[in-house]
Amino acid sequence: MPMTEPVVLAAAGAAVILDVSGPGLPRVLHWGADPGPLDEADLRALVAAAGGDVASAADGPLQPVGGMPLLPTQWDGWAGRPGVTGDRAGRWPYLRLARDGAVRVSADEVVAEGVDETAGVRVRAEIRLDPHGVLQVRHTLTNTGADEFSVAALRALLPLPDRATEVLDFTGRWGLERQPQRRPLGNGTHARESRRGRTGHDATPLLIAGTDGFGFAAGEAWAVHIGWSGGHEEYAERISGATAVLGGGELLEPGEVRLGPGETYATPTAYFAWSDQGLDGLSGRLHRMVRDRPSHPRSPRPLTLNVWEAVYFDHDLDRLTALADLAARVGVERFVLDDGWFPGRRDDTAGLGDWIVDPAVWPEGLHPLVDHVRARGMRFGLWFEPEMVNPDSDLARAHPEWILATEHRLPRPWRHQQVLDVARPEVADYLFTRIDALVTEYRLDYLKWDHNRDLLEAARDGVAGVHRQTAAVYRLLDRLREAHPGLEIESCASGGGRIDLGILARTDRVWTSDSNDALDRQQIQRWTGLLLPPELMGSHVGPSPAHTTGRSAGLAFRCATALFGHAGIEWDVSTCTEAELESLTEWATLYKRLRPVLHNGRPVHGDVDGVVTDDAAVFVYAQLDNPAELRPRRVRLPGLAADRRYEVTRCWGEEAAGATLTGRALATVGIQVPPLRPEQAIVFEVRPSH
Ligand code: GLA
């Protein structure tokens, strides 16, 4: 029996309603708040309100009638970016998808197939609403024709209501990632595209459309994220006469995905979240989804010391063991040896690709250091940049053909390095063998996996290869994780250049930014935290002045900033005064006490920034600029249970009085804080009062 009533998928207050009755793919009638129970008459009324009968409106305007199909094309009356397009030797860019077979509906998922027999294309569209109200959309396209079909785009898009009037997204650069930009949603396409072959320092973790003035705590917002580390696009589009849409997908180069007969292309997952409680509501849903993944790191996030800004390329056993002693003294739990341990790597011009320990610098291998670190109760991590090669390396000399390039057309160098063609099985095998050997020999607990250049002209035999490369790198990571189940991996790309849910499906942490400047970090972490829960964001106490900006900040402020992530230290602590070492020790103890809250709670933002669980919270009141008035203020502490009483105590930073109040009073009346100078902070710990 054909299913005629619309399907409602609802979870955690969010819903999507799809009309599955038509001759084409399911049509989205609604995406947003859960309207609650609907009877048959309500559902029919919903279809009627969306324009009713699709067939009779075929001569209508450029607006899909009866809801937005999952993969709209011109045949559906859609003149915006098509859901699907491609060609067969220059023919068939315009597809007409007729539904094939019954729509499969379960409690949380709708799956439908569509086919264009003439063009020789079959698609499968999948939309799933997870228990946290996040929609996950995936499509596949199969070439059913007799010759090659080239896929140009296969997008996920959903309609936005007219009250979504503003767009917020993020841009940035090396050392200053995720800077917000906001604009009205007018007619046209606001697209964020990356052709960098990695997610990008300027990539937006979310592209968000919202109601007028939506903020952290208030307003309705709709967001998209593409879980992919290669080329990608996210966009909001409104064309004259039609509903606006929010969409995205993999950004493919011409000819990049050419399917032979019977071959299939699958999109990365597009994540869509809706909230009527502003941005904090969006991150609440996304964080719950991220934390629910089986692979999510659940053990306490070890306080880390990374030696990069302490020693750079100057690897010296005595110096490093002395650092390890001090690290252990202040309470560090994981020691990470960064770049510089392999042959020829005295600076960044040589050595990448030769993944063996440099016998000139490390005559006994890394063993003396690793043993020293382990003897002090710390875990050991090592830096790699597997996808890269310096032309000045034994690997590049032995295998120039392994470089991702078309014969003599070598891409322009970047940090003196080229990219390895990881999609060649022999390259992936080489990398696996070398990394596996080192992980085994040194029982490595942790890899810092770096990626320090964009992929430019990434082509083999003239054929674009970012898609292939991205998939191959994912396979390599999966293979290593399978071989070494306890191994943790950090995704770094000159700081925060590869942060997305595709790479995070096979890594445990990101290096949020190369900037350890605490003032910039306040912003970078706040906005990265829209997508990622704090326990995934590496945040280190660096030196003052900060190496990337030259800006100075007090230790208390630097520590307060680093607390709100997966904390660490990246500083030559041998230069610290005794008082500084004592402060670091105190801070390390505090981090360990607070991390169950910081790494399980939900971030909130308002007068203060905080992380709130059901029975505790941590808030930071930070002064980022020069205040207009120097007087005490009241700040509200949101998110706690209204009727419960809490004790608020200052646990870090400048002096401040505590309070004992109900959650309601904390969220409405708040507590008093003293005036602070720029780059001062107070951290409050909140526990139930007994
Ligand atoms: C990149 C990383 C840094 C450091 C250096 C080493 O820039 O982001 O943290 O590892 O490479 O060369």
Nearest CA to ligand 1 atom 8: 494
Question: Is residue 308 in contact with ligand 1, taking CB distance under 6 Å?
Answer: yes
Q: How far does the centroid of ligand 1 lie from the alpha carbon of residue 495, in Å?
A: 7
The answer to whether position 379 is within a domain reads no
Q: Which CATH number does the domain housing residue 249 bear?
A: 2.70.98.60
Nearest CA to ligand 1 atom 2: 494
The answer to whether position 99 is within a domain reads yes
Q: Could you tell me if 114 and 84 are in contact, meaning their C-beta atoms sit under 8 angstroms apart? A: no
Eight-class DSSP state of 534: G
The pLDDT assigned to 2 comes to 44
Encoded tokens for 444: 């490595």
Residue with tokens 């925060």: 496
Nearest CA to ligand 1 atom 3: 494
Question: Is residue 492 in contact with ligand 1, taking CB distance under 6 Å?
Answer: yes
Q: How far does the centroid of ligand 1 lie from the alpha carbon of residue 86, in Å?
A: 39
Cα–Cα distance measured from residue 550 to residue 400, given in angstroms and rounded to the nearest whole number: 40
Q: Which residues are catalytic?
A: 450, 514
Low-confidence ranges of the chain (pLDDT < 70): 1-3, 51-63
The answer to whether position 419 is within a domain reads no
The alpha carbons of the chain give a radius of gyration, in whole angstroms, of 27
Residue with tokens 């700081």: 495
Q: How far does the centroid of ligand 1 lie from the alpha carbon of residue 338, in Å?
A: 8
Task: Report which of 440, 452, 537, 451 is spatially closest to residue 487, judged by C-alpha positions.
Answer: 440
**At which of 291, 313, 334 does a domain end?**
291
Q: How far does the centroid of ligand 1 lie from the alpha carbon of residue 542, in Å?
A: 14
Strands 14-19 and 27-33: antiparallel
Nearest CA to ligand 1 atom 11: 494
The pLDDT assigned to 55 comes to 44
Is position 222 annotated in a ligand binding site?
A: no
**At which of 291, 326, 353 does a domain end?**
291
Question: Is residue 381 in contact with ligand 1, taking CB distance under 6 Å?
Answer: no
The pLDDT assigned to 5 comes to 87
Nearest CA to ligand 1 atom 12: 339
* Residue range(s) defining the domain that contains residue 611: 604-688
The answer to whether position 553 is within a domain reads no
How far, in Å, are 87, 97, 142, 276, 310 from residue 113 at the CA level?
19, 9, 11, 32, 56
Cα–Cα distance measured from residue 205 to residue 500, given in angstroms and rounded to the nearest whole number: 7
The answer to whether position 524 is within a domain reads no
Q: How far does the centroid of ligand 1 lie from the alpha carbon of residue 502, in Å?
A: 21
Is position 78 annotated in a ligand binding site?
A: no
Question: Is residue 495 in contact with ligand 1, taking CB distance under 6 Å?
Answer: yes
The pLDDT assigned to 60 comes to 55
Size (the chain), residues: 690
The pLDDT assigned to 62 comes to 58
The answer to whether position 136 is within a domain reads yes
Encoded tokens for 75: 């045949």
The answer to whether position 142 is within a domain reads yes
Q: Could you tell me if 353 and 396 are in contact, meaning their C-beta atoms sit under 8 angstroms apart? A: yes
Helices (H) and strands (E) in the chain, counts: 12, 41
The answer to whether position 430 is within a domain reads no
Task: Report which of 127, 220, 131 is spatially closest to residue 168, judged by C-alpha positions.
Answer: 220
**At which of 256, 291, 326 does a domain end?**
291
Question: Is residue 338 in contact with ligand 1, taking CB distance under 6 Å?
Answer: yes
| SS3 label, residue 570 | coil
Within 13 A of 578's CA, how many CA atoms are on the CB side? 0
Question: Is residue 388 in contact with ligand 1, taking CB distance under 6 Å?
Answer: no
Q: How many domains does the chain divide into? A: 2
Task: Report which of 568, 582, 638, 577 is spatially closest to residue 610, judged by C-alpha positions.
Answer: 638
Question: Is residue 341 in contact with ligand 1, taking CB distance under 6 Å?
Answer: no
The pLDDT assigned to 1 comes to 36
